[in-house]
Amino acid sequence: MYMHYVSFPGLGIESFGLKQSAFTLFGVDIMWYGILITAGMILAYFYGLTRAKIEGVKSDDITDLTLFLVIFGVIGARLYYLIFNLDAYIVTDRGSTWNNIVETLKGMVSVRSGGLAIYGGIIAGFFTALVVAKVKKIRFPVLLDILAPCVMIGQIVGRWGNFVNVEAYGSTTDLPWRMGVGLGGGAPYVHPTFLYESLWNLVGFILIAVFYKKKKFHGQVFLFYAIWYGAGRAFIEGFRTDSLYLGPIRISQLVSAVICAAGIILMVIGCMRAPRAHLPAVVKAAAKAADSAEGEVSESPADENASESEEVSTDTKDAAEGTEDTEESAKKDNAESKEEDNG
């Protein structure tokens, strides 16, 4: 398979080769792009389980949601990419009309070498999560809070698939961290925009991880993600040379700016309406309830109340018996006193 060469001369890294294929299985090349995307999904899933426990959402619900998100997220990401890059997949030189149609469809469904747009996946994932939340009766803002950092993990890892494919880079630059694409002194040096986005998401993920439990209202974590990623992507997209366009407009840059602005507005409204008290106590109570529902709590509050009632009943009975003994003793003393007087 064709070897790509990249370098980072400003960092002292000379040219080295990158193969798109990691290995071959039963005659099929397994691409690094797919491996990295899958690795991001797996890491995101396990992280989502930890956040679900905090929010009081059952792990089985997260597992079901993940399966739907993977399916519809990939479909959405591919459709988004195709809509704005359709001409590159229309085949017209394979003889008959039928052959052209078959080859066109084969190219459209093949994602082994790239061609997924993150915003298509996010949009499809948003509506998929909405449906799952309705069916499983989970509060949608809570589910969005769980998913936001998970999406970031997928983006942090997945962008390195673009690096292996030597794609999603930017315009030429002479900055110290410039990336050389190709061999020899004539290789262009470009912005490693895949790296910019991966690092930007890493910082955002760390901030979410630190402040998650301090959120003031459900949905705030998701809005932070929308603001953070939208702002970063709108800026980084301006450097890229492979943007999807609608006329003269970079689609992803426009979408990012709109998402960021909407996120800011909703964040302000949410903070104004949120109670002054933070949510950690509520979140902990929800997590405790989820543990109880899954059978992880050994003793229920009803059992504790029953035990307390038995203790109170026993104490009351003992007190009553003590009172009867006292009364009998007093009667006996009075009888003896009368006998002594008569004697």
Contact 196, 24 (CB under 8 A): no
Which one-letter DSSP state was computed for residue 170?
B
Give residues with Cβ within 8 angstroms of 45, minimum separation 6. 62, 63, 66, 150
Neighbours of 68 (CB within 10 A): 15
CA–CA distance, 174 with 245 (Å, rounded to integer): 26
Question: What are the strands, taking DSSP E only, across the chain?
Answer: 3-8, 13-19, 21-25, 28-31, 179-181, 189-190, 245-246, 249-250
Token pair 């996946």: residue: 121
pLDDT, mean of each 10-residue run, the chain (343 residues)? 85 90 89 92 96 95 97 94 87 86 89 82 96 96 97 95 91 95 80 96 96 93 97 96 90 96 97 69 58 56 48 48 49 46 40
CA–CA distance, 267 with 274 (Å, rounded to integer): 10
- Computed on alpha carbons and rounded to an integer, the radius of gyration of the chain in Å comes to 32
| Cα 254 from chain centre | 23
How open is the CA angle 199-233-220, to the nearest 5 degrees? Answer: 85
Phi, psi of 176 (to 5 degrees): -55, -30
pLDDT score for 184? 62
Selection from 111, 127, 119 nearest residue 65 by Cα: 127
